[in-house]
Amino acid sequence: MEKNATGALRKRHRHSLRMAVQMIFLSLALLVSISFVTTAKNVFVITDGDETIIVKTLSSDTDDAIVEAGISLNEDDTYSYEFTGDSFNVNINRIKTVTVEHLEKTYVIETYSNTVEAVLADLEIKYDHDDVINYGLADVIFDGMLITVTDIQVSYETFETVLDFETIATDNDEIYEGNSRVITEGVPGLRITAQKTTYMNGALHGTETIYDAVLSEPVTEVIENGTKSKALKSTEINTSYTGTDSSSVIANEGNSILLDNGETLNYSYSVNMTATAYTTELQENKITASGAVAAVGIVAVDRRVIPLGTKLYIVAADGSWVYGYAIAGDTGVLGYSVDLFFDYHSTCVNFGVSKAIVYVLE
């Protein structure tokens, strides 16, 4: 009996010990559960302008999280939030005063918009890639911000310029005087110029040449002028016009000269020339280039300067002598020279070389 009682006692003791261990494990599990519940925190990601603050709090109230973040809200400020499963994303919407200048208008607005692009959209301000905005479209708005939108207008123009051709004239002694022929036809050239003109807010800002090219070069015109003259018959030279009847020039006004005999001569122009003398006294051939017989009053000239047959009145540049009436009837000199005919060789020697004024009479 004692043996059985002792066994039963041992069984009861083991049962009590098992119950105690189970109670201890339950208590520990409860404590861990309570600890986990009391230490779990809510995560708030709060964005205030360009600043982001992360708050971990036991509270699930957004207002509490904003206070814990040290953020103060003004009367007109608002916020919005959404729960993503891991955190509460909170966006602070602060009212901001923003000034926008566009063209000749100034806008002052209070806005909750967060970016420059959104503010311009709110004001329905149109712009394109040429326009200049002093901030990036994605820049965050701040209180007191000044946004300027500069309107840029660009125009393009193309101009055509005709390039004149040059003319080169040469003498040809196989062509009669007064006639000419074209060797090479002159052709104008063409130049193309493109300009870019920029206007800022309606005012001219600048002009830039963006293209300038000669599409075709001008072609130089080449002509030949005749220098050949027909030999004039003696009857074609009015020899009665020539002679030694001459008077000094005492007045020159406009295109008229007054001679000391009271006669007035009208002239087209005058030429300063070098005067020399020649004669046919000892020569058999007394026929001049004009076909007339050499005589006093017929002078030799360069027909490129003074054409044959031109009526002249010739005096010394210093007034020391007067040759008088003459006609261009002979050649043999070059340039601005005149060779005066005299009957005798001795007269030519005495005359020598002198400066003369040659009046080309009308």
- In eight-state DSSP terms, residue 142 is -
Q: Which alpha helices (DSSP H) does 69-161 contain, by range?
A: 116-122
pLDDT, average across residues 261-271 = 89
Query: 12 falls in which pLDDT band (50, 70, 90)?
Result: low
Q: Are residues 251 and 341 in the same domain?
A: yes
Report the mean per-residue pLDDT for the chain. Answer: 84
**pLDDT for 230 beyond 80:** no
Domain closes at, from 208, 228, 248:
228
Digit-coded pLDDT (tens) for 57-94:
998 899 999 999 999 888 888 898 899 888 999 988 88
Q: Are residues 168 and 107 in the same domain?
A: no
- Give the C-alpha separation, 137 to 118, whole Å: 8
Query: 18 falls in which pLDDT band (50, 70, 90)?
Result: low
Number of domains the chain is built from: 5
The reported pTM is 0.39
Query: 30 falls in which pLDDT band (50, 70, 90)?
Result: low
Q: Are residues 249 and 326 in the same domain?
A: yes
What is the DSSP annotation of 231-275?
Answer: PPPGGGS-GGG-SS----EEEEETTEEEETTS-EEEEEEEEEEEE
Percent of the chain with pLDDT over 90: 58
pLDDT, average across residues 204-208 = 93
Q: Are residues 20 and 67 in the same domain?
A: no
Report, in angstroms and rounded to the nearest whole number, the Rg of the chain calculated over CA atoms: 58
**Least confident span in 9-13, 221-225, 263-267, 345-349:** 9-13
Using CA atoms, how far residue 319 sits from 232, 343, 355, in Å, is: 33, 22, 10
End-to-end CA distance of the chain: 183
Q: Are residues 20 and 64 in the same domain?
A: no
pLDDT for res 178: 74
**Which domain does 162 fall in, by range?**
154-228
Digit-coded pLDDT (tens) for 104-127:
899 999 998 889 999 999 999 999
Q: Are residues 267 and 347 in the same domain?
A: yes
Using CA atoms, how far residue 243 sits from 10, 59, 71, 200, 246, in Å, is: 183, 137, 123, 82, 8
SS3 (DSSP) at 68: helix
HSE-CB for 134 with a 13 A CA cutoff: 11
Domain closes at, from 228, 247, 266:
228
Query: 14 falls in which pLDDT band (50, 70, 90)?
Result: low
Digit-coded pLDDT (tens) for 318-341:
988 999 999 999 999 999 999 999
HEC string of 205-238?
Answer: EEEEEEEEEEEECCECEEEEEEEECCCCCHHHCC
- In eight-state DSSP terms, residue 164 is P
